[in-house]
Amino acid sequence: MADPEGMFAGGRGRILVFCWLGWVFEFCDLILFAFTKRAIAQELGLELWGAIAWIEGLTLLATALGGFLFGRLADRHGRRPAMVAGLLLFGIGSLATAAAGGFWSLLLARLLTGLGVGGEWGIAHAVVAEHWPERHRDRVHAILQAGSPVAMAIAAALGCFLAPQIGWRLVFVVAAVPALLAMIARQAMPGPARPAALAERLPARALFAAPHRQASVVLLVVLMLHMTGFWCVYAELPAALMALHEVPIAAVGWFQIQVNAVHVVADLAFGWLAVRYGRLLMFVLFCLVFAAGQALLVWQLANITRDFTAFTWAVALLGLGAGTWSCFGALFGTCYPAPLRATAAATFYASARGVQLVVKPALAGALAAGSFAPALWVGVVCALGSAVAIRWLPVRPGGASG
């Protein structure tokens, strides 16, 4: 007899597939810009470390607004309608990116994309928390989070191998196709569009009222640190390798695919290790590995042109440390009740991206000076800061019931 509490029983497998695909395709489009922005800047006559940096920063700010809007929509009117709306808006933004003819049209296109992408991560993890029993959640959150490195690998393949052949515009058209998933969303996700657990309505201000205030502050701080480390290192690395170190685009593509393969393993491993040893302990250990990987990258920067293989191994260590991202979905499921869960997860996760509006232009100045080392040192500080700050989160290390 099938286990009714099994990880993929009762329609849970289909729910996970839809949530996973939605997150993969939306994040792929967001990160695809990092692999194509050099070609976009050249064709549209924009400064890579100037106008393009501002567009990228404003796009990430738009994800913060989208996170709040779609998070509230998901908590008030149901998960499925919010996910469908986000996918459709993301698809429109991706098509508009393909048609952009200058700074303002490109900015508008990326703002639409950012708004659509903003709520996807938080809503998907809220769905996991509501459909899986506690004993399976860490693993399922990890599987869902593993969609991030898969998305980055796909973006690397599209940006580094397909775009040089067909052009960046057609690549964004290809990236928009997954918006069609919105049309089958209602059939792909079993269960009611608005779960019974959402019958109670809680205002957004409850996120910073007792008993959620401390958890909200700590999660927001840790996510801001983590996002800053990610967008300073992962998202800037492809363009920096090509522009500052003259690494061929094909080598950057293969390098990114290999590194993200390691990242997938790290995300999955975190979920299984968290069940056995505790979420917070594993989070701290993975943060230390992430910091060590970036310190090694600084050491290898001068040798990139002579020994790119050694540099790749150093980044693989960084990829292992990036498994920390698998922790956040489970923590939001633990810290917040259903009527606040999507709002908290989507708003905080996307708001942490929005902070990059300040970081991106500032980092652009350092990169324009010709060195990637400042970005890596920012990443080290953010990783160590995350390891310290997470200790103030008011949950049991092994995870409390959601």
In a domain, residue 198? The reply is no
SS3 11: coil
pLDDT tens profile 238-293: 777 777 777 788 888 887 888 888 889 999 999 999 999 999 999 999 999 999 88
Distance CA 306, CA 312 (A): 12
In a domain, residue 197? The reply is no
Distance CA 32, CA 305 (A): 25
Question: Do 302 and 277 meet the contact criterion of CB atoms below 8 Å apart?
Answer: no
SS3 22: helix
Which secondary-structure segment (H or E) carries 58? helix 51-77
Distance CA 256, CA 260 (A): 6
Distance CA 244, CA 371 (A): 7
Global pTM value: 0.84
Give how many domains the chain has, as a whole number: 1
In a domain, residue 340? The reply is yes
Domain that holds residue 47: 12-187+208-392
In a domain, residue 278? The reply is yes
pLDDT tens profile 139-189: 999 999 999 999 989 998 999 899 999 999 999 999 888 776 666 655 566
In a domain, residue 196? The reply is no
pLDDT tens profile 51-106: 998 898 899 889 889 999 999 998 888 888 888 888 888 889 999 999 999 999 99
In a domain, residue 203? The reply is no
pLDDT tens profile 285-324: 999 999 988 888 888 777 776 776 777 777 777 788 889 9
Phi first, then psi: what are they for 200, rounded to 5°? -80, 140
In a domain, residue 202? The reply is no
In a domain, residue 402? The reply is no
Q: What is the CATH number of the domain that holds 44?
A: 1.20.1250.20
